[in-house]
Structure formats: structure tokens, C-alpha cells
Amino acid sequence: MKPEEIIEVETASVACDGEGGAAGHPRVFLSLKPEDGYKVVCPYCSKTYKLKEGATLHGH
């Protein structure tokens, strides 16, 4: 079993495709929400995306 991979990001939405090329998975777009602690787990590959400490999100 692989250790949990945590990727720090500076945006409230991310795209994940498993980074495996043909061995990856369909590209999915994930949202980091305040009610989830600005953290989201990819349902395909289980990579965890977390808002980088000190990152500022800008509204539209």
C-alpha cells in the first residue's frame, strides 16, 4: 500500500488525472471547500489536495 500523497495547492479547484498517462484515470475537477478544511481526496487515485498554508483565495 502506498503512503498517502498530499499535494499542496494555491487554488480552490484542481484537476487530477492520476499522472499516469495511459495508466492514469479520467481527468476530474475537484473543489477545496472551507467546510472540508480546504482539503479534497481524488475518488480515483486517493491523492489528497490541500490548500497551502498562507495561500489567499480570490473571489470572482
Look up the CATH number of the domain holding residue 22: 2.60.260.40
pLDDT over 70 at 3, yes or no? no
- pTM metric for this prediction: 0.82
pLDDT at 1: 46
Structural domain boundaries, residue 14: 6-51
CA nearest neighbour of 32 among 18, 46, 52, 17: 52
Q: Is the residue at 60 inside a domain?
A: no
Domain count, the chain: 1
Q: What is the pLDDT of residues 14-46, one digit of tens each?
A: 999 988 777 789 999 999 999 999 999 999 999
